[in-house]
């Protein structure tokens, strides 16, 4: 992991002090709501349905057990409220698709104290909200994936530093998200981002980035077109500076729904590309423009040095075959770049808890597992699980038993119940409909592991509104909460793709007819799955069958199980 040096620590503490001053002015009545709002947003404080939500930045998803224990402390001591059901009393966090952690119940008056607690463990909420460059995301297997060409983590860290409190880009037309990957397989949905970066080598063996610009979900789902096939790594910050500057000057500010860079890229096409190229060329021609120096890269990269192979501890005792263990090995354990290691996903998709949620006790439990089995390091995955990156092969069985004890061993990674879901209308003020009860009903309906494994790999994504935090557009099955006449309805789509090999080229799913009522949704999912199971050929996965058949047979199957919405047909 990146190790904060005295400079980084000093910087985060200065930020916490600045926020404390802003909060104090706000509480004294000197800084009105509408002027405090953008300032607190850029520190991660987003007032939601019940209380301010705090989004803590987990830079490119890397988390230490020490940090996770501090997050548990914050959950226990600050994320609480006195009334309501157990779930409403707080004391838990939610991991998001952007690899961050959200709290829901911290009173604003305690927010400056929480920033200090975060700073104690080199954390903060800088730019996790607001119209600025957000947390950089990457592959959860960064640095350890067998199919990796270039480790993206040092570059992610350099991007994090560059974008942190960039004075020119603090008030962009809209939020701005950058994802980076360095592997052949895209596990970071890069083409769905404002800027998607893919590290690779050119013919001369030099490291650089493929740059795609202008992707995004929301009301107008667009996949980022490639702008450059290769930007040398030393120039990548200059290229991004050019893109963001042109966007800052010419992005639309008159209409919230048209203010993302994707709209500018789509509307202006080549003219936008030309403007970026002119700006980039002018910067490159200017001797004052710095390139990333090798020494700085080396300093950062040293933090991510590869570990030595673990002492060969072969699993000496032959184990009795255990189907449950085998299933976990098959779904939750992943290949590793270094011999002797495995990466292990701790599933946060289990009955009784919303996808991605962790209680304070579970945070402690996961931290404990990381300390015992993964050198104190964890990753937050894009699909809202935790991952242990440094597990010795010889420890797998012992880890499995411990993970089972902690409720982290559901062998469902990549399966239907490993769904992505936003917090939805239970917690989010923007949501049109709730996501959590829909996720719970589907989890309950598909509680048979044999059946889940038979259905196989599938991406089910649920968003409570068109802002698409649950990435419904890219789900093989997508569910979108919509509001009609003050009631909750759900639009279902089929055939979306995040850009991975399994899913195929990034594309938005096709909506299969008018919205469904909440109580119809589990039946609809079952009907879609039934259509797949009846129609699949050979080893076809759901998405492959959906691509081959198109949306129509799925639409018919879903219509056949309509009840309360049948009359609208």
Partner 1 sequence: MRFIPSEAPLPSHALRLDNTADALAQGDQVQRHAAVVLHFPKWTDGRAYSQAVLLRGRLRYAGDIVATGEVLADMLPLLRRCGFTAAQLRADQRLEAAQRALGFFDTHYQTVPPERQRAAEGAAS
Binding part of the chain for partner 1, among 4-12, 328-336, 439-447, 499-507 by CB under 8 A, reads 4-12
Q: How far is the CB of 126 from partner 1 (least distance, A)?
A: 11
Q: How far is the CB of 158 from partner 1 (least distance, A)?
A: 10
# chain residues binding partner 1, by CB under 8 A: 38
User: Minimum Å distance from CB 70 to partner 1?
Assistant: 23
**Contact at 8 Å (CB) between 70 and 121?**
yes
Cα radius of gyration rounded to whole Å, the chain: 23
Nearest distance in Å: CB 241, partner 1: 9
Number of H helices, E strands in the chain: 17, 21
Out of 35, 206, 274, 298, name the contact with partner 1 by CB under 8 A. 35
E strand or H helix that includes residue 490: strand 487-494
Site string for partner 1, 169-198 (x = CB under 8 A): xxxx--------------------------
Distances (CA, A) of 289 to 28, 124, 241, 372, 504: 43, 29, 11, 46, 39
Q: Which is nearer to partner 1, 133 or 458 (CB)?
A: 133
Q: How many Å apart are CA 183 and CA 10, to the nearest integer?
A: 34
Query: Which ranges of 122-191 does DSSP label H, i.e. alpha helix?
Result: 153-163
First to last CA, the chain: 55
What is the x/- site pattern for partner 1, positions 236-265, by CB under 8 A?
-x-------x--xx---x------------
- Encoding tokens for residue 95? 């991991």
- Work out whether 277 is an interface residue with partner 1 (CB under 8 A): no
Beta-sheet pairing, 62-64 with 377-380: antiparallel
The secondary structure of residue 122, as a DSSP letter, is: T
From candidates 82, 204, 255, 286, binder to partner 1 by CB under 8 A = 286
5 binds partner 1 (CB under 8 A): no
E strand residue ranges, 106-194: 137-138, 178-181
- Give 128's DSSP letter: S
Task: Check residue 272 for interaction with partner 1 (CB under 8 A).
Answer: no
DSSP label of 83: S
| Positions 124 through 143 that interact with partner 1 (CB under 8 A) | 131
> Which one of 29, 82, 167, 205 is in contact with partner 1 (CB under 8 A)?
167
**Which range, of 111-119, 280-288, 503-511, 548-556, touches partner 1 by CB under 8 A?**
280-288
Q: Is 33 in the site for partner 1 (CB under 8 A)?
A: no
Of 171, 24, 33, nearest in space to 111 by CA: 24
Using the rule CB under 8 A, give the single segment among 84-92, 161-169, 205-213, 380-388 that binds partner 1. 161-169
Nearest in space to 447 (alpha carbons), one of 475, 477, 420, 411: 411
Contact call for residue 22 and partner 1 (CB under 8 A) = yes
For partner 1, the binding residues (CB under 8 A) are: 7, 10-11, 14-15, 17-18, 21-22, 25, 30, 35, 38-39, 131, 161-172, 237, 245, 248-249, 253, 282, 286-290
């Amino acid at each position: 992991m990146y190790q904060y040096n005295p400079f980084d620590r000093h910087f985060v503490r200065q930020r916490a002090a600045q926020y404390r001053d802003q909060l104090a002015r706000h509480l004294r009545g000197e800084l009105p709501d509408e002027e405090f709002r953008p300032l607190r947003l850029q520190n991660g404080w987003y007032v939601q349905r019940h209380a301010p939500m705090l989004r803590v930045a987990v830079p490119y998803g890397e988390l230490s057990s020490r940090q996770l224990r501090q997050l548990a402390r914050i959950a226990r001591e600050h994320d609480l409220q006195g009334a309501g059901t157990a779930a409403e009393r707080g004391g838990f966090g939610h991991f998001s698709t952007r690899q961050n952690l959200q709290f829901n119940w911290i009173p604003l008056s305690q927010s400056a104290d929480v920033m200090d607690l975060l700073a104690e463990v080199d954390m903060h909420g800088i730019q996790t909200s607001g119209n600025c460059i957000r947390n950089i995301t990457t592959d959860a297997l960064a640095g350890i994936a067998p199919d990796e060409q270039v480790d993206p983590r040092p570059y992610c860290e350099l991007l994090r530093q560059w974008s942190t409190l960039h004075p020119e880009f603090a008030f962009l037309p809209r939020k701005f998200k950058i994802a980076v990957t360095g592997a052949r397989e895209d596990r970071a949905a890069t083409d769905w981002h404002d800027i998607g970066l893919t590290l690779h080598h050119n013919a001369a063996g030099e490291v650089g980035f493929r740059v795609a610009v202008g992707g995004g979900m929301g009301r107008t789902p667009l996949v980022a077109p490639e702008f450059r096939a290769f930007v040398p790594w030393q120039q990548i910050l200059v290229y991004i500076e050019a893109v963001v500057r042109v966007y800052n000057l010419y992005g639309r500010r008159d209409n919230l729904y048209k203010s993302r860079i994707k709209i500018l890229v789509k509307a202006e096409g080549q003219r936008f590309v030309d403007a970026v190229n002119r700006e980039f060329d002018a910067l490159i021609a200017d001797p004052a423009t710095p390139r990333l120096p090798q020494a700085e890269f080396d300093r950062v990269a040293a933090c991510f040095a590869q570990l030595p192979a673990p002492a060969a501890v072969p699993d000496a005792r032959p184990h009795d075959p255990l189907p449950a263990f085998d299933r976990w090995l098959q779904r939750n354990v992943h290949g590793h770049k270094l011999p002797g290691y495995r990466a292990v996903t701790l599933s946060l998709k289990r009955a009784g808890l919303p996808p991605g949620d962790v209680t304070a006790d579970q945070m402690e439990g996961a931290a404990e597992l990381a300390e015992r089995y993964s050198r104190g390091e964890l990753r937050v995955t894009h699909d809202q699980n935790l991952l242990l990156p440094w597990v010795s092969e010889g420890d797998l069985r012992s880890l499995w038993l411990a993970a089972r004890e902690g409720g982290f061993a559901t062998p469902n990674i990549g399966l239907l119940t490993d769904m992505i879901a936003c917090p939805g209308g239970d917690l989010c003020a923007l949501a049109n409909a709730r996501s959590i009860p829909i996720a719970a009903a589907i989890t309950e309906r598909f509680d048979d592991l044999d059946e889940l494994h038979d259905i196989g790999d599938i991406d089910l994504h649920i968003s409570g509104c068109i802002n698409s935090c649950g990435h419904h557009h890219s789900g093989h099955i997508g569910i979108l909460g919509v509001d009609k006449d003050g009631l909750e309805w759900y639009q279902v789509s089929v055939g979306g793709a995040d850009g991975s090999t399994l899913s195929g080229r990034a594309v938005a799913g096709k909506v299969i007819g008018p919205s469904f009522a909440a109580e119809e949704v589990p039946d609809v999912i079952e009907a879609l799955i039934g259509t797949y199971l009846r129609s699949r050929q050979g080893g076809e996965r759901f998405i492959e069958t959906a691509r081959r058949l198109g949306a129509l047979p799925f639409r018919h199957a879903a219509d056949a199980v309509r009840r309360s919405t049948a009359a609208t047909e």
